[in-house]
Amino acid sequence: MTQEYEHETMVLDVLKRAVAEALERKRRLGQYFVVWRDGRAVCIGLDAPAGASPDDSAPVDRSEATG
């Protein structure tokens, strides 16, 4: 492995961990979050605004909010 590839891999791992921690924190606080799914922004969470998705046409998905 080249040093550049190792650095890119390390940065990607850190970013993935940071996103996972942020999503977990929002889940614990009961806050919704927005993810990109099937080419659309989707609001996920029990408090996700109905019909207030970032692009005004994305579905609201509350199924992943439990747990």
Task: Give residue 2's pLDDT.
Answer: 85
Task: Give residue 61's pLDDT.
Answer: 58
Q: Which residues span the domain enclosing 12?
A: 3-61
Alpha-carbon distances, residue 47 vs 16, 52, 61 (angstroms): 24, 11, 10
User: Is 56 a domain residue?
Assistant: yes
Alpha-carbon distances, residue 22 vs 5, 7, 15, 60 (angstroms): 26, 23, 11, 20
User: Is 26 a domain residue?
Assistant: yes
Identity of residue 45 = G
User: Is 67 a domain residue?
Assistant: no
User: Is 66 a domain residue?
Assistant: no
Number of structural domains in the chain: 1
Distance of CA 60 to the CA centre of its chain: 14
* Alpha-carbon torsion angle 40, 53, 67, 13, nearest 10: 50
User: Is 42 a domain residue?
Assistant: yes
Q: What is the pLDDT along the chain (67 residues), one digit of tens a residue?
A: 688 899 999 999 999 999 999 999 999 999 999 989 999 999 998 888 886 555 544 455 555 544 4
